Amino acid sequence: MSETAASSVEIWLWLLMVMTPHNPKTTLILSQYDYNAKVAAQAVRDGEIPFLSEDEQRRAAEIRSGAVQNVLAACEEQNIDIITLDDERYPKLLRNIENPPIVLFCAGDISGLDDVFTLSVVGTRFASDYGFSVTKSLVSSLTKLGAVITSGLAVGLDSAAHKACLDAGGRTIGVCGCGILVDYPKGNGALKRKMVEQGGAVISELLPFTKPSSGYFQHRNRIISGLSLGTLVLEAGENSGCLLTVQHALEQGREVFAVPPHNILDARFAGTAALIRDGAVPVFSYIDIVRTLMKNGGLTDYLKNVLG
């Protein structure tokens, strides 16, 4: 950017547009400049970063203030908050993952997540009646205990987890697999609005009008797990995409929980069966999650206050 008085948010947006989301090079560059976005952006613009690709160099030369202002204007018009990596509202748990989003586009409120019980809840799009029943039971109990539930807004058990949390009067965070101003998944608009109205949020690291892409979801899942103390898998087949969230959770040092299969011969439960076999904590009740997290020390004081 050639402007001498660019705001901090403008600089972060410019970096995002040049480097693109979920690019590990961005974290590397920022680390070299003590996470000073202004200095890092200057180095990128001036060609001082030797490992930029041709496309990254081209974008650094071509993207100017007008493009950044267009994003700012769209977000302001739609009441979308732009939360950058140096913002005090940025969740500490997420900031500490290996490749955190440098910008979060947020409808709603993500403040205070560091002071509450946060849990990611994920599952298959093609769930059984058992899966839906378990989701409602577990999420309702966890919500009444004060848990903030994070999931991916997908049809099936993700949406069921968000709805169960809302029905129990709780706060839930949805992580989009597209730009925050894109209507996807179709038909989830009312759910998203209720999430915001009830004190939660819908977030994305992608520019606001970015269409969904199958290649992005594995990157999105690192945010779902990164926001939470642990990840609960409700129901998953052997190749379920939600198992990618588990992989991120393990890499981030977070606890993994899984609901025991309803039928070990049913392929719909092969993923959760394998998780339990490989060491995930089996969940027969919400108490199994609470005890495990208390044993690990992350929830002891919080839960003692809640439980009296």
pLDDT at residue 304 greater than cutoff 80: no
Whole-number Å distance between alpha carbons of 1 and 297: 45
- The answer to the question of residue 194 being in a domain is yes
Does residue 51 surpass a pLDDT of 70? yes
Whether residue 147 is found in the same domain as residue 256: yes
Assigned domain for 122 exists: yes
Instruction: Say whether both 182 and 276 belong to one domain.
Output: yes
Looking at the predicted structure, is the pLDDT value of residue 3 above 70? no
- Residue ending a domain, among 77, 98, 122, is 77
Phi, psi (rounded to 5 degrees) for 199 = 95, 0
Same domain for 179 and 44:
no
Confidence check: pLDDT of 296 > 90: no
With respect to residue 219, please indicate whether it lies within any of the assigned structural domains. Answer: yes
Per-residue confidence (pLDDT) for residue 2, from 0 to 100: 39
pLDDT on residue 288: 96
Whether 126 has a pLDDT exceeding 70, the answer reads: yes
Residue with tokens 């070990």: 264
62 and 118 share a domain?
no
60 contacts 18 by C-beta, under 8 angstroms: yes
Given phi > 0 = left and psi -120 to 50 = alpha, else beta, which region is 47?
Answer: left
Number of domains in the chain: 2
Task: Evaluate if residue 215 carries a pLDDT over 90.
Answer: no
Q: Give mean pLDDT, residues 209-235.
A: 95
Same domain, 134 and 13: no
For residue 16, give the DSSP letter.
Answer: H
Torsion angle defined by CA atoms of residues 222, 122, 183 and 117, in that order, rounded to the nearest 10 degrees: -70
Phi, psi of 151 (to 5 degrees): -155, -170
- Asked whether residue 248 falls in the same domain as residue 173, the answer is yes
β-bridge partners, 119: 149, 230
Q: Both 72 and 145 in a single domain?
A: no
Same domain, 122 and 266: yes
Is the pLDDT score of 299 beyond 90? no
Is there a domain that residue 90 lies in? Answer: no
Of 292, 123, 150, 302, give the one whose Cα is nearest residue 226. Answer: 150
What's the pLDDT at 6? 62
270 beta partners: none
Tell me whether residue 25 is in a domain: yes
Is the pLDDT score of 306 beyond 80?
A: no
pLDDT recorded at residue 39: 97
Answer yes or no: is 167 within a domain.
Answer: yes
In a domain, 188, yes or no: yes
Q: What is the CATH number of the domain that holds 144?
A: 3.40.50.450
Residue 24 belongs to what domain range?
1-77
Residue 269 DSSP class: G
Is 100 part of any domain? no
- 253 shares a domain with 176: yes
Query: Which tens digits make up the pLDDT trace of 275-289?
Result: 999 999 999 999 999
Looking at the fold, whether 235 and 145 belong to one and the same domain comes out as: yes
> Is 261 found in the same domain as 127?
yes
Structure confidence by residue, pLDDT tens digits, 238-265? 999 899 999 999 999 999 999 999 999 9
- Rounded mean pLDDT of 218-230? 96
Please tell me the distance from the alpha carbon of residue 5 to that of residue 144, in angstroms, as a whole number: 47
pLDDT tens digit sequence for 61-86: 999 999 999 999 999 999 999 999 99
77, 99, 124: which is the final residue of a domain? 77
Take residue 269 and report the two structure tokens written for it. Answer: 């439960």
Q: Is 167 in the same domain as 278?
A: yes
